[in-house]
A = this chain, B = another copy of it.
Amino acid sequence: MAVNLYDSAYALEKAIRESDEYLHLKRMYDEVNADPAAKSMFDQFRQIQMNLQQKQMMGQNISEQEVQQAQASVVQVQQNEKIFRLMEAEQRMSMIINEINQVVMKPLSEMYGGM
């Protein structure tokens, strides 16, 4: 990769790492990880989500029971304040990453998009 591309990519990496949103997300993540009950609840939630996504991607059937289990786990984690705040912080970070991607990928989306 050319020097200029590397430099620009690293400058953006640094800007993300120093952004309020990333620092906030990191704090929320550390808080959940420092609380064994919250961490175990959150890990379980992630596992359920990932299993469902994998089944969806592979076109496997998802049972009524699995849907209910997933919904129950969402309700459960949202009642934990630390996890709720972590998920809020993740959503904000994810919106920022989407915005960044739209800016950075513009040369390619312009080329392939309806030009």
Query: Residues of A at under 8 Å CB distance from B?
Result: 1-2, 4-22, 25-26, 29, 57-60, 93, 96-97, 99-100, 103-108, 111
Complex Cα distance A29/B112, Å?
A: 9
Contact (Cβ within 8 A) B25 A104: no
How many copies of this chain?
2
Contact for A104 among B4, B16, B20, B99, CB less than 8 A: B16
B100 touches A17 (CB 8 A): no
Instruction: Find out whether the CB atom of B93 lies under 8 angstroms from the CB atom of A104.
Output: no
Do B100 and A5 touch (CB < 8 A)? yes
User: 27 interchain pairs (CB within 8 A)?
Assistant: A1-B99, A1-B100, A2-B15, A2-B19, A2-B20, A4-B19, A5-B12, A5-B15, A5-B19, A5-B100, A6-B103, A7-B15, A9-B99, A9-B100, A12-B12, A13-B103, A16-B104, A22-B107, A22-B108, A25-B111, A26-B111, A58-B59, A59-B59, A59-B60, A93-B108, A97-B105, A104-B104
